[in-house]
Every structure is written in structure tokens, then in C-alpha cells.
Structure 1
């Protein structure tokens, strides 16, 4: 380690960036929308260091080492997803899964659904797997299209304008199950999905990838990185991919293009600044549902092909332009204090035109057109100070943080009837004009959060305690009527966790965590609703023997979402219907997970989830109590086994074959009304690869036996979504 002083220019830049966390909240008190206003904040890993009793901001003269190498490999050992600090997974009193880059490559991952399909507590049996958005369940609670990237929430609009980045741009995916309000603010009680971006590297990295597959898929990708200058204090990364394929619907076509340049600058051993950018364009022509849907016998389209296109070639289209500019700043003041600041500015421009079939009879389909035009501009910043210190025999890692987000969102929606379609002649080519806007909403959002967390280590025990206070406003202008809807809410969330090192790699733990979500609307007396809340008790154990590539976890949990809206018992027929906050949904379950790397030449990933209870436990309508949550399986399981990658010589893969196979079981489940029970299904995935001359050739097949299964059902409307069938990908990758 060496001593150094930050040069004046670097110090001025540092202070200016830190000052943003104070100045960003100053714009006029804007407001906050419903789901779109949920808070997010989670920073990047801050490195622990020996203790020191003092620090000075004006004279930065300290001893520090460069950040350690990233935690890579088939099995992750550390993560900051559950604590915001660089913590060994076994010392985290939470159920946490890390899907590494090696795992994603072995399974031929193409999207988040594929990435998380072998993760306990996760299910995509929610709605159609549409490449425009990511909608899934964690512990039976729908994520409402919300994901996080590099610890910061990906801000989105109300059901649309949702970021859905290409998985090739990520090093790994982290899933923190259960409430996470103290670190991430407003959010779903089921958990958090955090995507970790590929960042600049000090070692040279060059990768090209070509891929083809089912549905006339073709894409090409590059991943480049390394040092920028001879001093080694500047590094870059450039990741990009271009993809073109047909959808499973007739006449459907999907294109995606993204590029993500990144740069890291280290003006001193104590300071680093990483600039992260991401530019992505999605263009989908044809029907929006990437999965075909099957019509039920009571629907007029029953018996027709599930992949038939009922729109117009020149009308049905979805486009989204997503742009992001952000940074991660880390600075060590002395051996005790470190500061990390993450920030992002993002914009989304999204347009969607779709023609739907309202009804069909006598060979004629009556149709309507839906037109969406949305724009989003969002800023989010998270700053936290970390102190590594001791008080007697107790070692502390203390966080004190503040985050802020400001979002502007325009939402314009139109719906109207259009010309009928002759189902025999299929008379495409009719002129379609956009219907007049039905809704024209303008949202303004401001949210602030303050949090404090302490990790205490004493003897064989590690404890975590913390609290957070959030406040946000929302203001929605209905431009057609020039009326405003305002929400002003606040919430406090806390956490407690305790882990015991029982020796020989065994770590039992217990934890309690809370979350909240913003809730719009008022009761019959005009009183604004409070946020919905989540609370969870979890008891678990982790087994991770030292100097091994093995990790087993087991967790039982009791999770409840409370303050949910239910019908007001004072409602009268024919009068305005009001709601009250007395609803509750409860979930209890068991999760098991195993990860083993390079054991006698094999890698293994296995998971099992058992949820005997996931139902409504409080409601003003007695008939609803005990109703099971839609599309939540009592049993689900997965198992993946592949041969470990051959040894490398001077960075070149040794010649040889590799194989892999996986099984996924999705158990039976009920629809929303509990009148339809959906059967379970076993799905099979497979992989074959061959390494030679620096190239890796891999064939991945998903749903090998082409099993069809329902992932969502809407019997009142007469149709249900089904799996898209077998898909395959042939990939050639060259890294040097």
C-alpha cells in the first residue's frame, strides 16, 4: 500500500459530485405517482478497511489499496445486495441468490426469465413472456415490472415505459428475497432483482459472439475492455449487441440494439469514478404477445390458430428508446470513513399501437385499436458514508445514507373501434387511424429517503440492525379535465438480523424485515390512504465450507402484505364504491438451494420451493378470505448439471466437449377466482458445447420436449397464455 494526496483538481471534482446529493432535491416540490413512485436506493460495494479514529476532509492523506478484483466464477462468495457493504454471503441474514455470468453462459440465458428460472422463490407463471417488459413473481408477489441495476431502482411509468435491459450487459443477477425497504425504499415485499453491469477491467478483454437459432434469430455481440493509459489509472469497457428475430406470432418481428460504454478513472489510490452509459432501442412489429395464446371454448376464436395475426401490418408496432447516463463515485477519507455515491439520469420514449379482437362471430372479428404514447425522464442519486470502527470487542460497519429521486412522466392513452376483419379472407390492409386520447396524464414525482444501518461482529456472532424514513409526494395532472390528484405519504421501515458462525462452514440465522409501497386514492371521507406495508420473519441456515466451491441454503419464512385495499362495507348498490385499507395477503414457505462448482468435473445448481400457504387472510368480504393467490404454485423445483469448463492455458480454452441438462418443475396453481386449477409441468433444458482454438461453440435448447403449459388464465375473457414451445440457440464465442 502507498500513500498519496488527491491533487487539487481531483478534490474539486470530488466535492462537486458529492454536492449533487444536496442540490438535486432543491427543485420545486414535485410529486409522486402510484407504483411508479416507489423508492429505490442501493449503492455499490464499499471496501472494508482497518480502523482509524479520525478523518479529515480538507487534507486527504491516507493509506489504501486498490479495490479488489470482482467476485467472479461459477459460484459467488460475496455480495452487497443485502447490506450495501462488501459482505460474505454466509454472514448475510437473508435469503439471497446470485446468478453468475458463468451460470448464465452455461444455460444460454437470453433474458431475465431464463436467468432466474433456476432460482428458488421465482416464477414466471404470471403473464405472457413479452420481451417488452419483465413481469414475474418472487415469493408469490408480482414485481410490478420493477428491477434494479447496480443498486439503483430502474424508474418506470405506470405499467409502461419500463426498462428491460439486455442480459448480455450484466456480469451477474442478484435476487434478494423478502422485504428490503431499509436499503431500497418503496418496493414489493416479495424481493428485489438487482442487475450488476459489466464494468471496466484492468486486464485486456476482447470477446465477440455470434448467435443464431429458432424463429430466424441472428445476433452479434462484442465485449471489450482494458487499460486506457500507461499509468493504469483509467480503464474502459464497451459492450454491445444487435439482435433480430421473428416472434412466435404470425408476421411478428423483434429487433433490439444496445451499446453500453463505460469508463473508470482513479485520480488517486483513494478515489475512483466510474461512468456508466446504456443506450437501447427495441422495435417489435406485429402482435405484442411473444407467446401465442390459446382461446377457450367460450370464445369466438376458439379453434383458430393460436399464432394467427388479427391486426394490421402497417399499424401494430411497439418502439422504445431507452437512454441512461450514470456514475459510481467512491472515495476513502481515511482508514475509518468511506463514501460511495451512485447516480443515474435516464429517459424512455415509448410508443405502442396494437389491434385487439373484442369478439368474433360468423367468421368476422370485431376489433379495437389501442395507442400508447409515453415519455419518462428520471433522476436518482444515492449517497452513503461507511465507517469501519471498533468499540471494545465489537467491530462495526456503519452506514449513514441519503437517496433522492425525481421523475417526470407523460402518459397518453387511446382506445377506439376499428374496421372488422374477415376471418376467412383475412382482408388485411384496411386503413387504421389512431383513436382520440382517452387519458392524458402528467406525473411529477419527488422522493427522499434517509437510512442508518449497523453491522456488528462480536465473537462468532454477526448482527445487523437498521432503520429508514421515506417521504414522497406525487402530483398527477389529468390534462383533459385539468384536474390534479395529489399524494403526500411517508413511511418508516426497519430490519434486524443475527447470524451465528457454528463452525465448519455452518451459519444459522434469523431476521426480521419490513417494506412499503405507495398507495394512491382516498376513502369515502376524503382521507388519503396510507402506504401498503410488508413484514417478514425468516429463519435459515447457510453451509459454505471454507476453501470450497460449495454453498447450501435453507430458509423458512412468514411474509405478509398489509394495508391492502378492499371494498368498503358501507358501499350501497348503485352508489359510488369506496375502499378501505383492511386487506392482507399472507405467505409461508420453505426454500432450499444448492450450488456446487467443479466437483469431480461437474457444476450443479438446484432449488426447491414449498409454499403451503399463499392466500388472502383479511378482507371485508368474508368469501374472499382463504382464496389462494393467483398463479402461485405450492411446489416448484429446478435442477441443472453441467460439466466444468476445461482449463485455460494463457487465456486460451483447452480443446474439449462439455454437456449440461436441467429440469424445471412448475407445480399446479389456481387462477384469480380460484375456479380454474392449472396443472403442473416438467420442462427440460439441454446444452452441448465444444471448445477449440480459442472458440467456444454452444448449443442450448430450452423446453427440449416442447411441453405446452399455461402461465396465466383469464376465463372470463375466454383465453389463456401458454408457453412458446421449444427454442434453441447456437452460439459461437471467441475471447482473447
Structure 2
């Protein structure tokens, strides 16, 4: 580890080298074509799918070698619910049954059947995942995997990281996704970042070979209305250019009075395929969100339990004055995926993207408890933030598939780089020297803001990371595969304290080495036991209350399990046991909730089971079960040996959907799901418990010709529950009943 202020020029040089390599590849390809030379033909992949806006014939590249027609594209549609291939776990086109790590893939049909409009809603039936930790929060999708937060450093889009630090949240629109891949366990060897609990990689919709169109309108609870469209296909007669345009817009309210949830999204994409060996796809998206703070920070007494007056705080209570409980965000992504196969052995890929995010929040917040002895009035403070994020990333990959005479190898050599720039301005009424009126939970009275917050933090954060990685998937025999991987990272974090004219500026440079070794054996009957050991490395952005930058988080995991995918049976079962140690863990600072602190080491040991099935024509099913134990193994005396707050350690779910295939009722479908979430703790001493809860979901739908009508309901019994508590003064109501009707047409 090296601490200093000098920046290295190596990252810029290596990135330029990667860009130059792409330019050289393009030039060689063009020259080769002009000379009439033959090129390697990567057969195009065609998959039949029934998902909304998901036609057959997504334009694909080989993604790691020649692919046969009829094999699933790992970035394309899924036939039914059961995916068979992925690139997330290994960055190569690998069957799920040959991947020695626990992973769940959600396709567009499942997203449509559940009408999941957020990443939180789409992952509620995934083993190991707890979605919606902070309840009905419309600003961000908050997820944990195996007991560890992944919303900050563990969300990815098309294999490139979405950094969510402070209040610079990126938001993912599910209508723009082809699939969602949840990889459990450390992934730092390939990605250089992420929680040891895992990562969530969202895969964008891409242009298709087959022309198509899709439109959908809908609406329901809290006055929500939405419309969406998805069109694409070839753009020329020669079959070299393809396009896709996806759009989505909604407006309306939320379960919190006066809090809007408006969002507008547009995503143009273009693919160019000059021949079977070269593939270039431009991916872009633009999004605007207008909402509010809906995850009210409420006291334990009055939510989980009745307060001293025997009352519970209404879920619909808006803690912020309606005129200035606001959160707005504008974000944009522009990037590309390039691939060129030199021959049957070597393939080069480069994925590059620039992301921009600008957000602002102004709201009255809870977290202060009651202001009167009868516990009928809530104390509040005003919080204002303005954030701007610029994020540049590039990932260069060279893949080689060959045999050394004894074993078959799939070797991946990579060089990636990211540059994250954050302008972070946060202020409160405390800094401005005025108080915010408390709020009655019986007769809430609102008025204009009593003042404007002054900043207590104005920082310019600069974070860069350069990583070199190497992986070899070794086929020792037709049944036994050994995966070896290693990576070296170089990270630099600088924070300029602009509020104090730079006097509190700080920074550090860190390096980290991670590795993975895994073994999987594939029996002919579809049984595949596996074992793996992996490590993680996550440099942390920002500073604590002392204005000091944080040490990187590190972790280790041992995982063993078995996968079962009997040929032709239409289901996939994964069982996994794991033991994770995570060091330098960030948690809320007990001295000031506006800051974080590194208080020790947490261990997570547990078991997961996930079943995904398309059992017969028209019947799809998902089932999951998770149990683990979380323990603070190092830290201050008050948390040592205790379970961290916010996180349940036991949950299970089951979801079914059936569509009648013949007879007079052909096209009519129905289904539903049940979700169980176990108890969690509301205080570090583990004396306050948040009880477990069970929720029920249901849906009916009817398809005829090219039309589809559907009604979806989540938490159909409208059960009032607390999703978690961060402390005795910060608890969060979960989602109320949500009913949405939709009508769609495709051509």
C-alpha cells in the first residue's frame, strides 16, 4: 500500500494503448476485406422468446468464439424463465451449468409477468437477495446479497460498474433491460470491485435481426400511469446495420401523500456488423426522474410497535413539506461494445462507456425521534444536497481458446480502467442555525420552508482505478473444469475540501491482489457439484467525519454447492453453502448519522437454494430459500458478536405463472407468489427486533392475437410491515399494495 498525492500517468497511457489497439484492429479488418481475404464467420444466434418487446433474432457476436444457431445468446432473450448461458460470472460465453458459482438470471418474460418496474421489484424472488431494505424508496434500488450491501459498488450495467456513492445515485429502468444477472459471491477478480456478497449485472436491450414493434400502456395504484414502446430491426438491405429504440414514461403518486414518482427514459441502440468476425454496438440511454423522499426515517415505537400513546404512524405520512420534499435526477449513458475475432483462437473485445448523473434533493427528514413525551409529534431537520457525477470506464479483453495437447483452455486477459468524478454538496438547517418545526402524526400541518440549509460538506472527489486480470478456464476432461483467475488493481482516491478552501483535503493510493480458484464436475445426467475460493477488493470513495479517506474493503469466501439441470426437463436447481469474511466494513457513524465509519469485520455463513423452471407448456415457476448468520467479528465493544442492523437472515419465496395453451380458454393465464422475510434487528445491541412478515402477490392475464391484457397486484393483502430499521429512530415502511393494469400490442 502506498499513500501519497502524486498521480500516475500509467492509466492514461494504457487506456490510449487500448484505444489504439481498437483502431488498429478496425484498420486491419478493413484492409483484409479490401484484399478479398476470407474472415472467420461467427454464426448468428437466434432464440425464440415470448417476453414483451423481445423478438427472435437479437443481433449478436460470438462472445468468446463461434456459436451454433439455436444456442442461447448470453446477452440476448431467454426462452421462458430458464436461462442457460451467461457472461457475467466469467466474462466469457459459458453455460450456467459449467459455472462454478451461484448465479440467477432473470429474463424479460419474468419481468413482464411480474410487471416489475424497478430493480428492487424484479429481484424479490432471488435467493440470497434482500430487496427494498429501506422500504418504499423511489430514489434508489437498495439491495443486499448474502447479507452485504450491493447497491453502492455492486450494481453493473453491461459489465461496467454503476458507482452509487453518497447521493449520486444511478437508477436502472427495467423496461430497457434484456436480462438481470445476480452473481453471488466475490467477483473482484474480473471486475476489480463489488461487495463480497456479489454483484447485479443488468444487460441492456440490443438491436435485432428481425423487425418488430411493441407498445404498452398501463396504470393503477396512487394515480400511476405509464406508456412504453420498443421497436427495432435491420436498417439496411445488406444486413450490416441494425437498430433499436426503447422508451418508457410514467407519472403519478406514491404511497406517501404528495410525493410524486415520475420517470422518463429513452434508449437508442445501433449495431454494425461488416462481416461475421466483427461486431460493434452503440448503446445509449437518457433518463429523468422526479420524486421525493418516500423512505421516511421513523421511530421504532410507532412503526414496529405502538408508541406510548398506543398509536402507529400512518404509512402515507409525508415528513417533508409537500412543497419542498423533492428529489430530481438526470442521467445519461453513451458507450459501445466492440468485438473482433481474428481466427478460431483469438478474439478481442472492448467495452467503453461514459456516464453522467446530476441530482438534487431538498426535504425535511426524520431520524430525530419524537419531540414530546406523548410521542405524537416528530422532530425533523432539513437536508439539502446537490450532486454531479462523471464516470468513464473502459474494459479491454483478449480471449484465446485452444488446446495444449492435454487440456482445452479458454484464457482471458484483460485491462480495465475507470475514472469517477463527484461534486458533492450537502447542507442542513443545523449548519444554517435555524430549527425545523416538528410534525404532528395526528394532524400534520405543513408550511413553507423556515430557511435554507447551509453546507456542512462541499467536496470534489476524484477516484481512478486500473486493473489487470488473467483467467483460465481449463477443461481437464470432458466433465471436469478448473477455473483459475488473478488480478492486480491500482486505485487512487482524492478528496478536495472546497468548503474550507482545501485545508481538509485528503487522499490515498492503494493496490490490491485478488484471485479465484474453482472446480466443477459435470455429470451426464445434469448434476454438477462445485467448490470455489475467491477474494475481493473494493476501494472506497469519500471520507469519514474526520475527513480521512477510507481503507479499501477486502473479503474472502469459500463456497461449495451443486447445480442440477437434467437435459430436456426444463428446470435448473442450484444449492450453495458459503462462508464470507469481510474486513474494513462501512457502517453508520454512531456519533453522527450523516457520516460513515469503518468499525470492523463481519462474517456471513449460510445456505441458499434456487429453482427456476418452465415445467410444461405455459407453466413457469421460481422458488428460493436463504438462511445465513451474520456476526460482527471485530469492532467496538458494543457491536462485537452482534448481528448488524437492517438485514434479515432468513427468507423464502415461491412464484408461479400458468397460461392455458388449448381450448376455449387458450391464452388466459394466472398466477401469484408468496414472499417470506425473517426478523432483523433495529439496534446494534440486538435488543429491538423487527418481526418477520409474509406477503402475497397475484396476477391474471389474457393474450389473443397480438394483444395482451394483464392485472398485477403485489402485497395483495395490503399488509403494513417494516422492511428494516437502521436504529431505534430510523425505521422504514415497506411497499403498500400496488395494483397495475396493462395493455400491450406487438407486431
Confirm or deny a common fold (TM above 0.5): yes
Match of 2:363 among 354, 358, 379: 354
Match of 2:650 among 616, 620, 635: 635
1:458, CA displacement in angstroms?
A: 2.5
**Counterparts in 2 of 1:557 and 1:303: CA distance versus 1, 3 Å:** closer
1:58, CA displacement in angstroms?
A: 7.7
State the match for 2:522 in structure 1.
501
**Counterparts in 2 of 1:703 and 1:84: CA distance versus 1, 3 Å:** same
State the match for 1:149 in structure 2.
157
State the match for 1:64 in structure 2.
41
1:476 counterpart = 2:495: yes
Match of 1:592 among 578, 597, 609: 609
State the match for 1:706 in structure 2.
718
Alpha-carbon separation, structure 2, partners of 1:552 and 1:381: 35
Alpha-carbon separation, structure 1, partners of 2:208 and 2:382: 48
State the TM-score, normalized to the length of structure 2: 0.84
Alpha-carbon separation, structure 1, partners of 2:668 and 2:321: 47
Q: Deviations over 1:501-554 (max 9, x none)?
A: 22211111111111112257999x999864221111111111112233211111
Alpha-carbon separation, structure 1, partners of 2:259 and 2:584: 42
Alpha-carbon separation, structure 2, partners of 1:336 and 1:715: 56
State the match for 1:727 in structure 2.
738
Alpha-carbon separation, structure 2, partners of 1:251 and 1:143: 30
State the match for 1:221 in structure 2.
228
State the match for 2:452 in structure 1.
434
Secondary structure at the residue paired with 1:62? Answer: coil
Alpha-carbon separation, structure 2, partners of 1:187 and 1:116: 18
1:617 counterpart = 2:624: no
1:723, CA displacement in angstroms?
A: 1.8
Match of 1:456 among 447, 466, 474: 474
Secondary structure at the residue paired with 2:252? Answer: strand
State the match for 1:31 in structure 2.
none
State the match for 2:79 in structure 1.
73
Asked if structure 2 preserves the Cα contact closer than 8 Å seen for 1:128 and 1:291, the reply is no
Alpha-carbon separation, structure 2, partners of 1:522 and 1:323: 27
1:606 counterpart = 2:623: yes
Larger strand proportion, structure 1 or 2? 1
State the match for 2:116 in structure 1.
109
State the TM-score, normalized to the length of structure 1: 0.85
Q: Deviations over 1:267-309 (max 9, x none)?
A: 2221111000110000115x44389985565689955534233
**Counterparts in 2 of 1:20 and 1:689: CA distance versus 1, 3 Å:** farther
- Which moves more between the two structures, 653-662 or 185-194? 653-662
Aligned pairs (5 A) from 1:252-651: 252-285=259-292, 287-289=293-295, 294-295=302-303, 303=312, 305-357=314-366, 358=368, 359-361=370-372, 367-416=380-429, 417-418=434-435, 420=437, 423=440, 427-459=445-477, 460-481=479-500, 482-483=502-503, 484-519=505-540, 530-564=551-585, 583-599=600-616, 601-611=618-628, 613-619=629-635, 621=637, 624-644=639-659, 646=661
1:682 counterpart = 2:688: no
**Counterparts in 2 of 1:367 and 1:579: CA distance versus 1, 3 Å:** closer
State the match for 2:256 in structure 1.
249
State the match for 1:175 in structure 2.
182
**Counterparts in 2 of 1:564 and 1:170: CA distance versus 1, 3 Å:** closer
Secondary structure at the residue paired with 2:274? Answer: strand
State the match for 1:7 in structure 2.
none
Over aligned residues, Cα RMSD in angstroms?
A: 3.3
Structure 1 unaligned residues grouped into runs of 5+: 1-18, 27-54, 568-572
Alpha-carbon separation, structure 2, partners of 1:496 and 1:422: 56
Q: Deviations over 1:623-670 (max 9, x none)?
A: 53321132433431111111147499xxxx995210111111111222
Asked if structure 1 preserves the Cα contact closer than 8 Å seen for 2:408 and 2:474, the reply is yes
Secondary structure at the residue paired with 2:642? Answer: coil
Asked if structure 2 preserves the Cα contact closer than 8 Å seen for 1:380 and 1:403, the reply is yes
1:671 counterpart = 2:704: no
**Counterparts in 2 of 1:608 and 1:579: CA distance versus 1, 3 Å:** closer
Alpha-carbon separation, structure 1, partners of 2:200 and 2:560: 21
Secondary structure at the residue paired with 2:437? Answer: strand
Alpha-carbon separation, structure 2, partners of 1:106 and 1:522: 43
**Counterparts in 2 of 1:487 and 1:354: CA distance versus 1, 3 Å:** same
**Counterparts in 2 of 1:566 and 1:197: CA distance versus 1, 3 Å:** closer
1:710, CA displacement in angstroms?
A: 1.5
Q: Deviations over 1:569-627 (max 9, x none)?
A: xxxx9xxxx9998x32111111111111142642111111121x211123353x53321
**Counterparts in 2 of 1:290 and 1:219: CA distance versus 1, 3 Å:** farther
- Which moves more between the two structures, 677-686 or 413-422? 413-422
1:404, CA displacement in angstroms?
A: 0.4
1:168, CA displacement in angstroms?
A: 0.5
State the match for 1:23 in structure 2.
16
Q: Deviations over 1:298-347 (max 9, x none)?
A: 68995553423343333221110001101000111112110111111111
1:355, CA displacement in angstroms?
A: 1.5
Asked if structure 2 preserves the Cα contact closer than 8 Å seen for 1:189 and 1:561, the reply is yes
Q: Deviations over 1:441-480 (max 9, x none)?
A: 0011211000000001122211110100000111100012
Asked if structure 1 preserves the Cα contact closer than 8 Å seen for 2:319 and 2:439, the reply is no
Asked if structure 2 preserves the Cα contact closer than 8 Å seen for 1:133 and 1:145, the reply is no
Asked if structure 2 preserves the Cα contact closer than 8 Å seen for 1:299 and 1:360, the reply is no
Asked if structure 2 preserves the Cα contact closer than 8 Å seen for 1:301 and 1:360, the reply is no
Q: Deviations over 1:80-111 (max 9, x none)?
A: 11000000001000001001111111122111
Asked if structure 2 preserves the Cα contact closer than 8 Å seen for 1:379 and 1:406, the reply is yes
Asked if structure 2 preserves the Cα contact closer than 8 Å seen for 1:64 and 1:335, the reply is no
**Counterparts in 2 of 1:711 and 1:446: CA distance versus 1, 3 Å:** same
Alpha-carbon separation, structure 1, partners of 2:388 and 2:548: 31
**Counterparts in 2 of 1:354 and 1:302: CA distance versus 1, 3 Å:** farther
Asked if structure 1 preserves the Cα contact closer than 8 Å seen for 2:132 and 2:734, the reply is no
Asked if structure 1 preserves the Cα contact closer than 8 Å seen for 2:646 and 2:680, the reply is yes
1:413, CA displacement in angstroms?
A: 0.7
Aligned pairs (5 A) from 1:84-123: 84-123=91-130
State the match for 2:3 in structure 1.
none
**Counterparts in 2 of 1:268 and 1:168: CA distance versus 1, 3 Å:** same
Asked if structure 2 preserves the Cα contact closer than 8 Å seen for 1:129 and 1:291, the reply is no
1:562, CA displacement in angstroms?
A: 2.4
- Which moves more between the two structures, 297-306 or 261-270? 297-306
Q: Deviations over 1:688-732 (max 9, x none)?
A: 011123111111110111222211225532x52122321111111
Alpha-carbon separation, structure 1, partners of 2:499 and 2:347: 50
- Which moves more between the two structures, 540-549 or 365-374? 365-374
Match of 1:192 among 174, 188, 199: 199
Alpha-carbon separation, structure 1, partners of 2:140 and 2:222: 20
